[in-house]
Structure 1
Amino acid sequence: MQVIEYMDATGQEIVHRKPESGSGEFRLGDQLVVQEFQAAVFFRDGKAYDVFGPGRHTLATANLPLLANVLGAIFSGQSPFRTTVYFVNMREFLNQGWGTAQPIVYRDSEFGMVRLRAFGTFAFQVNDAQMFVNKIVGGQGLYTTNDIIDYLRSIIAQSLVPTMGKLQTSVLDINQKYPQLRAGVMALVGDQFNDLGIAIKDFNVQAITPTDETAKAIDERAAMGAIGNMQAYLQYKAAQALGGIGTGAATGGEGGTAGTLAGAGAGLGAGIGLGGAMAGAISQAMQGGGQTVGASTGAMPDVMTLEEAARYLKVSPDDVMSLITAGQLKAKQIGTQYRISKAAIEDYLKA
């Protein structure tokens, strides 16, 4: 008579097979010991059969009905039979980390298409040992803890994408949608986990962040927005320049009169120059019927290249290309070239 048991000192192993490779030789009358929070599942020929809960069990045809039906006459005596026993941990597994292996492409309500990363924690528990062994061990060929958790993480990541698509918000406000995201993911993941004999007990989003490239694009967009009112920007710069006069005078000491006066003259010249630019910009805006300051008022063709549009807007061709890619500026692609109408640019400036 042999004793069949497994004690997990860490409590973190989801499933353990006995023997660890191949199949074992067991006899009727052998003792099966199942620990608290464990279930023992007899597995043979790729399928889970009889399940035992916590306690000491003497193997007999009465408590191995499914396996006895398959093996038939073997159970008429003490003849050994070959099978594998899987000890399944029925505890709740808490604080399991998840994250997106690759950035998620998300349609942002403000910035267009952006790339985001997400991570958080989840908790799960095996609630049907027989189904779990059939689907995970038999169906997926997984039985190490790392392999099983990686598989569950992949299910979460797949469910995250369609759920995020329903948020219809900006990355700037997406943290306010975490409860909605949590509920949506738990609903999708719950159905898939249940089919594996697993219950998802909790799911949390710790952070959703833009990739470095997306963060840089958002910063550039914010900077453009900050100087969108060119008149206010010029006023601010003029005030800074004039303020420099006082600073120069305050830092000048005895024997430094010439430097102070030079600094004051430079500050005054800068102030006057910016003041004149500001006045010119205001006058230009008034004469143009409120046309956005920053776009060239020179004669330009009705249809422009990237470079011409950049000169018209007084930005770089890359900036114009970014606006086109983001869908903010309408353009027509002809082969590898882009053509932008003057009307499209004016529509963008008025938006």
Structure 2
Amino acid sequence: MERRAFLKVATVAAAGTLAAPYVRGQSKKFSGITLRVNGYGGLYDEALKKSVAAPLEEKYGLKVQFIPGTTSADFVKLIANRENPPYDLFMGDSPNMVELINAGIIEEIKVAEVPNVKRILEGFREFGEYGVPFSVASVVPVYNSKYIKQPLTSYSDIARADLAGRAVIMAPATYGSLLTLLGMAEENGGSISNVEPALKVMRAAKPNILALAQTNVAEVQMFQNEEVYAGIFWDGRAHELRTKGIPVATVVPPKGVYAVISYINVVKGIKYPEAAYAYAEQLLSDQGILGVPQALRYGVTTDVKLPEELRQDLLFNSPERIALKKRVEWEKLIANRSSWIEELNKIIRT
């Protein structure tokens, strides 16, 4: 080969060698962009960083910043700054979705923008095309099998005579408590428009109720200290107790399970909606959707194939279990919230 031809070939080869990393770098389409997300804090945010944020940065150069706080305070901040949103993506549970939609501060999310939306299970997207559901926390009866030998089977079993002075429920103002009331009502012929059957159960249960748990941490501690043997709790928290060596059994009421679903939303008026859609797409991928259940054992919302160790721990782990998830009319529940809390407080105080 002539020297000139050799040099030409060598130059082309060298250019190709140098270009490859450059091309790969340029393929990171969201490099330099940071999405801001309101966070829940602790293991929840850490799970999302690992299963969603880290893969997005590796693939696209996209950074995600979680800002821990309380959803109610974050919502107020978002409303107050709608012209210059402090968040690009907003996490909220089913009750928060009603407020977000009514305030007109979130975008609809369609399959054309987030193809993995089509993988969401039927009944798990409660608000039309608003929000991407990614995690399910169920309110369930639980009991310490070391002390309670006859298993609980329903929400209404909290009134059983053998639980005298050894039961705990969530504070009346919490949505966990309101879902419990709805569960009791529908187990006993009532409805969201008629909770008197549930109030009757609560009156019967009053001698059993040692405490009203103001926080999840407080309820965990009551079970750990063996102050209480039974109660109503979140399924993920029951799993937490089992990891701490407490033999807490989770009950699946045969007439249905009541749950709160967590959503991610794209905020109106943000600079990088395409990057926000990429976050939602990754969240609904197999890798993304398994992040929270692997850390906290809350349920999934898609058709992902569950690893066996997760399948055993998750409440909604089969078509039969999924069919038990009750539809909640959140607008009606929120409208009834004040009167229900008032009635519950009357029962507890008298």
TM-score by length of 1: 0.23
The answer to which structure, 1 or 2, has the higher relative contact order (CA under 8 A, 6+ apart) is 2
* Greater strand proportion: 1
Larger Rg: 1
